[in-house]
Amino acid sequence: MNEKHPMHVLRRFLLSVVVLFSFIQCSRMSPTEPQIKEASAISASIKMTEKNYNAASLDSLVLLITGEAITPIRRKITFDGTKAMDKLQVPAGKILTVAVTGYQDSTAVLYGSNTVTPPPGEEANVQIKLDFLVPTIMLTPPDSVIIKDQFIDLYLSARNVVEMATFGCLVHFNPDVLQVVDLGRQDQFLQGNSGSIMQMEFTQDNSEGIVKAVLGIFPASSAVSGSGYIGSIRFKAIKSDTTDISIQVDNKKNSDLGLFDKNANLMYSVGLGSRLYIQLP
């Protein structure tokens, strides 16, 4: 059975969102906006500084502004690539809490908030750090610049898991641009509770562009919590290009995939890949 994720911050410092506010004294607002006495116009520009955040299959962002004696302002923000912009009306001179929630389907997977007091006629910035609310399978570093014919090691890790006993994912890469030359296990985290590692599969297919990693902990009572490395993948860059490496964790498509706890319950999780910028020598 599927198990809902714990509703507390599990992954920190993965994404950073900068919300830039331009406040100007406003006498006319869009007729579709609620009219606020002593209002300011707010132009919100949101930028994901993590270039490959789309690997988490983020479907929507919701901006929520709350404060004392104001009606909460909630706006679904559409985004293109790593940027999103919107305009709305807020009261000037009030302490406001600005929160951003990211959704995958209808489940909140990212959250961050901060406060700001918008002065009329001036600019103000508020930075919001988005934290993952769910366990994550990811590759690090998230983006790198390398030279054609060079090698790079990317590290596969589980982040902020709770009593994880089984780890399974597919790593997809472009075989016309990259080739896997070595795979290595990183056992320290999985053996943290003195369990043994069962390697069901840790293989590469350079023709299809796939690495499959399925590892378990025995006995299941030795399941581990927290964050740690699972393995390393050494790639060789065979062509100059910009290329994404994605992680698939969809258990509905492949029953080997996903994170399972010590009771064999599937954890809700997301996958976050990496991006390589390959340059000519």
The better pLDDT of the pair 192, 101 is held by 192
User: pLDDT tens digit string along 146-177?
Assistant: 999 999 999 999 988 999 999 999 999 999 99
Q: Are 118 and 24 in contact (CB under 8 A)?
A: no
Q: What's the confidence (pLDDT) of residue 169?
A: 97
Q: Which residue has the tokens 């090698």?
A: 151
Q: How far apart are CA 115 and CA 100, in angstroms?
A: 12
Please compute the mean of the pLDDT values over residues 68-80 and round it to a whole number.
78
Q: 73 to each of 1, 45, 62, how far by Cα in Å?
A: 37, 16, 10
- Chain region(s) in the chain for CATH 2.60.40.10: 2-132
For the beta carbon of residue 280, count every other beta carbon within 10 angstroms: 8
Looking at the whole model, is its pTM more than 0.75? no
Q: Which CATH fold topology does 136-279 show? A: Immunoglobulin-like (2.60.40)
- Domain 2-132: give its CATH code: 2.60.40.10
Q: How far apart are CA 172 and CA 199, in angstroms?
A: 20
Among 151, 178, 162, 165, smallest CA distance to 219 is for 165
**Is residue 183 predicted with pLDDT exceeding 90?**
yes
Half-sphere exposure of 70 (CA within 13 A, CB side): 24
The DSSP secondary structure of 4-48, one letter per residue, reads: PPPSS--EEEEEEEEEEEE-EE-S---TTSPP-TTEEEEEEEEEE
Among 59, 241, 261, smallest CA distance to 165 is for 261
- Chain region(s) in the chain for CATH 2.60.40.680: 136-279
Q: Which residue has the tokens 């940027």?
A: 83
Half-sphere exposure of 164 (CA within 13 A, CB side): 33
Q: 92 to each of 41, 62, 100, how far by Cα in Å?
A: 9, 22, 20
Q: How far apart are CA 273 and CA 246, in angstroms?
A: 4
Please compute the mean of the pLDDT values over residues 224-237 and round it to a whole number.
97
Residue 86's pLDDT band (cuts 50, 70, 90): low
Output the six-digit token pair for 103: 């959704």
**Is residue 187 predicted with pLDDT exceeding 80?**
yes
Q: 116 to each of 46, 119, 185, 190, 229, how far by Cα in Å?
A: 15, 9, 46, 42, 38
